């Protein structure tokens, strides 16, 4: 009989295909960051890794929003692919639109 690891079974049954094999648990207090196989991680280690990933995702979303705002404002000013996006976005901001 072929056995499947618990993590593989979770991935298949709960659509968790993106759960990594190894978790990065951030440094806490005097403890350095750790790399732990997901199947061996404690609940706290999974939770700490999830919080760290959520913070990274939030930071990336903020960056993506800022870039999208520059594109939107630059296009509103008629900028094209070869134009300076920041200068055009600033014109839009300063024009009061």
Residue 61's alpha-carbon distances to 17, 65, 91, in angstroms, are 22, 6, 25
> What are the residues facing 28 on neighbouring strands?
31
pTM: 0.73
DSSP state of 3: -
- C-alpha Rg value of the chain to the nearest Å: 22
66's tokens: 């800022």
Residues of the chain with pLDDT under 50: none
Q: List the beta strands (DSSP E) in 1-97.
A: 22-25, 34-37
- What pLDDT score was predicted for residue 72? 96
- What pLDDT score was predicted for residue 13? 76
DSSP state of 27: P
């Amino acid at each position: 009989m072929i056995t499947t690891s618990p993590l593989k079974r979770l991935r298949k049954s709960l659509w968790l295909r993106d759960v990594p094999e190894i978790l990065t648990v951030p440094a806490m207090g005097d403890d350095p960051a750790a790399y732990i196989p997901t199947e061996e991680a404690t609940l706290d280690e999974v939770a700490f890794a999830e919080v760290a990933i959520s913070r990274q995702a939030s930071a990336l979303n903020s960056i993506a929003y800022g870039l999208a705002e520059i594109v939107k404002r630059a296009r509103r000013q008629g900028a094209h692919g070869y134009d300076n996006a920041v200068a055009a976005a600033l014109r839009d901001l300063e024009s009061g639109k």
